[in-house]
Amino acid sequence: MDILLKHAKKYRVDIFWAVVMVVIMAVSTLWQPKLLQKVIDAILKDQGDKITSLGIYLIVVAVIGLLAGVVNTILSAKVAQSMSADIRETAFRKIQTFSFGNIERFQAGNIVVRLTNDITQIQTLIMTILQTLIRVPILFVGAFILAMDTIPDLWWIIVILIVAVLGISMLTFGRMGRHFGLMQGLIDRVNELAKENLMGVRVVKSFNQETNEEKRFDKVSDDLNAQNIYVGTLFSVLIPAFTLIGNMAVVAAIYFVGDLAKADPSTVTAITSFINYLMQIMFAIIIGGMMMTFSARAMVSIKRLREILDEEPDIYYTDVPEENLTGSVSFEDVSFSYEGDDKPTLKHINFEVKPGEMIGIVGATGSGKTTLAQMIPRLFDPQEGMVKVGGKNLRDINEKSLRKTVAFVLQKAILFSGTIADNLRQGKEDAAEEDMDVASQIAQASEFINRLPARYDAEVEERSANFSGGQKQRLSITRGVIGKPKILILDDSTSALDAQSEKLVQKALNNELKATTTFVIAEKISSVINADRIFVMDDGELVGEGTHKDLVENSQIYQEIYNTQKGKETV
């Protein structure tokens, strides 16, 4: 609840007026039956003047109540929407501080559901609170007192009605609350499955997996449907049950009022307002029950959002001034394990790289090449040892200094929707067209960019679906080199390029970014054969280091990789 209170402060004036409007609305609702009773009384006594004045009075009270209701709805909607937008933005800002590790802990799909579905639940709760929280007790207590005051002899009908409606509400709304919790978990699962399926739609189709995928999805969707049907069934039983109780109370009131009227004829005119108050008591209990059920559902959502807001970022940057670092990189006895893994992925890695060196990293799949590279831009922190850039421990430099020094071109080229220029400017905020020309020439991207009518203003669709794998990689390399970083890491980033283009990229890098320290992770030895030094990784260990010539002579693992590739390629 503290999330709601914290974000409510900003809207306290609107909340105050929303609450005032609710009170006016409740008082108007309570007042109307009494006025109606007086109008009927005047009609029976044929008091023409009184009928008109009371009639106008009744209409004015009803219109005021109606207007208060409209203003309350407008204010409540405004506050609910604004507060939920604020909470969503706060959560999104928090997510931006997360490391890879933090995000993996939640899974991306799960975070999306929290930012959408859970926020919607919270929005509904805020709206419900502002519309009903105060109205329910005022209506319940007011209608109870007024009903007792109207026909005191029928007090027992009021008590039986309250006991019956309360009993049924507690039984059903309690059950619904539990099922809402289950539904939330299933909605997560439906979202995850749909996302996984759509992201991997090419794999699904090429492996003819549609039927299996449908089965997996249907199972979760059916479970969710079963929960929905259960809650729906409870609702469909509830409404006739409440109607029956209400009608029985009305019949009892009419039946017994006959006896009372013999002694006091004025009781007859009181029956309409008495019935009205009975209905108001019943609705107050029902609305209260529904509010509690909504709250139970929204509490699950608040808890899920709290988890995001309370998550401590794994990686903190120290508050030191920005500085210009050199391109040297050193690992001092670095060991690292992914969370939940009992086996380390990197084991006691030691090396030193001078500014401007080109380092190739090779090794079997899963040997830890990407993990090692991810330590340099500090995507993960090692559990043991120290990573230094420009002679400084990464834990002692600020984020900006590191980001402007290191550019990382990922194995999987990821572009954002927008234009090509928008994407390139992620690598250099103020990049001019000339910078883009130079960078795209290095990445061998200029040819296809120049063929696009809008060139750098060409649109990149969502998930860059309008570009081929090779084009995405070229654009991704362009973004990596555009800021002329001191350290450039290419993680298997030329895998979708033909051998000729790959060679041209390497040549251009050598010519244009001579001063840049470059790490090239490659599956193919041919991609790193000309590197100043090549690191050989095996099962998390750095088992060899040297030029291609040295390694062919001295490293058994390198020789094995080299020999398996030699037959297939011109190395």
Contact footprint for ligand ATP (CB under 6 A): 104, 338, 341, 345, 363, 365-371
Q: Considering the complex, what minimum distance in angstroms separates the CB of residue 375 from ligand ATP?
A: 10
Yes or no: say if 321 and 345 are a contact pair by the CB < 8 Å rule: no
- The Cα 336–Cα 349 span in angstroms is 9
Q: Considering the complex, what minimum distance in angstroms separates the CB of residue 495 from ligand ATP?
A: 10
Contacts of 368 (CB under 8 A, 6+ apart): 345, 346, 537, 539, 540
Place of tokens 């080109």: 358
Other residues' Cβ atoms within 10 Å of the Cβ of residue 515: 11
Nearer to ligand ATP, 31 or 380 (CB): 380
Q: Residues 108, 112, 113, CA angle at the centre, nearest 5°?
A: 120
Q: What are phi and psi of 454, to 5 degrees?
A: -90, 0
- The Cα 485–Cα 477 span in angstroms is 12
Q: Considering the complex, what minimum distance in angstroms separates the CB of residue 109 from ligand ATP?
A: 16
Nearer to ligand ATP, 368 or 485 (CB): 368
Q: Considering the complex, what minimum distance in angstroms separates the CB of residue 372 from ligand ATP?
A: 7
Q: What are phi and psi of 336, to 5 degrees?
A: -150, 140
How far apart, in Å, are the Cα atoms of 88 and each of 118, 333, 501? 10, 41, 44
Nearer to ligand ATP, 57 or 106 (CB): 106
Nearer to ligand ATP, 169 or 374 (CB): 374
Nearer to ligand ATP, 369 or 425 (CB): 369
Nearer to ligand ATP, 286 or 522 (CB): 522
Nearer to ligand ATP, 33 or 368 (CB): 368
How far apart, in Å, are the Cα atoms of 423 and each of 56, 477, 479? 67, 11, 7
Assigned token pair, 429: 């905020």
Nearer to ligand ATP, 253 or 373 (CB): 373
How far apart, in Å, are the Cα atoms of 418 and each of 355, 426, 456, 458, 464? 34, 12, 11, 8, 9
Phi-psi region of 324 (alpha: psi -120 to 50; beta: other; left: phi over 0): beta
Nearer to ligand ATP, 268 or 529 (CB): 529
Q: Tell me the three state secondary structure of residue 368.
A: coil
Place of tokens 């193919």: 524
Nearer to ligand ATP, 109 or 185 (CB): 109
Yes or no: say if 334 and 375 are a contact pair by the CB < 8 Å rule: yes
Assigned token pair, 377: 């831009």
Place of tokens 């250099």: 428
- By the 10 Å C-beta count (0-12 exposed, 13-18 middle, 19+ buried), 157 is classed as buried
Other residues' Cβ atoms within 10 Å of the Cβ of residue 397: 22
Q: Considering the complex, what minimum distance in angstroms separates the CB of residue 549 from ligand ATP?
A: 24
Q: What is the crossing angle of helices 12-44 and 48-96, to 10°?
A: 160
Q: Considering the complex, what minimum distance in angstroms separates the CB of residue 315 from ligand ATP?
A: 14
Nearer to ligand ATP, 122 or 522 (CB): 522
Residue 309's DSSP bridge partners are none
Q: Considering the complex, what minimum distance in angstroms separates the CB of residue 140 from ligand ATP?
A: 54
Q: Which of 396, 342, 406 is nearest to 374 (CA)?
A: 406
Which string of DSSP letters, residue by residue, matches 126-158? HHHIIIIITHHHHHHHHHHHHHHHH-GGGHHHH
Nearer to ligand ATP, 338 or 416 (CB): 338
Q: Considering the complex, what minimum distance in angstroms separates the CB of residue 303 from ligand ATP?
A: 26
Q: Where are the alpha helices (DSSP H) in 482-555?
A: 499-512, 548-554
Q: Considering the complex, what minimum distance in angstroms separates the CB of residue 462 from ligand ATP?
A: 24
Q: Considering the complex, what minimum distance in angstroms separates the CB of residue 314 from ligand ATP?
A: 12
Q: Considering the complex, what minimum distance in angstroms separates the CB of residue 334 from ligand ATP?
A: 13
Nearer to ligand ATP, 268 or 543 (CB): 543
Q: Considering the complex, what minimum distance in angstroms separates the CB of residue 142 from ligand ATP?
A: 60
Q: Considering the complex, what minimum distance in angstroms separates the CB of residue 370 from ligand ATP?
A: 3
